[in-house]
Amino acid sequence: MMQQSEQRSGQNDHDVIIVGGGMVGAALAARLGHTGFSVGLVEQDDAPTPPSGDYDLRISSLNARSLAFVKASGTSLPEERSCPFRHIDVSNQDGTGHSLFSAKIAA
């Protein structure tokens, strides 16, 4: 995100500007920044706070390849909120949709 001084001065010299600081935008900004690019990240929402409390039913899952991307970007995930998965069974609220992701199938 733009530093406070950049906001005041109007200076914004960057190699890349990314609009959207969600999971994908933030990951791309971290990766490009880690490889030497000057990156500006524009996000309308407040900066996220570290998760706490119980897990939500809506979660994000990363496969091994995505986790390698995160680590190669010089970032990490909180160990206490991470665990491996062998399969994920997803359905929608009214029961009309269903997906199964299995490590066994992918292997």
pLDDT tens-digit map of 96-107: 888 888 877 655
Name the residue ranges covered by the structural domains of the chain: 4-49+56-81
> Model pTM greater than 0.95?
no
Q: pLDDT: is 90 or 39 the higher one? A: 39
d(Cα 46, Cα 21) in Å, to the nearest integer? 10
Q: What are residue 50's phi and psi, to 5 degrees?
A: -60, 140
CA atoms within 13 A on the CB side of 2: 19
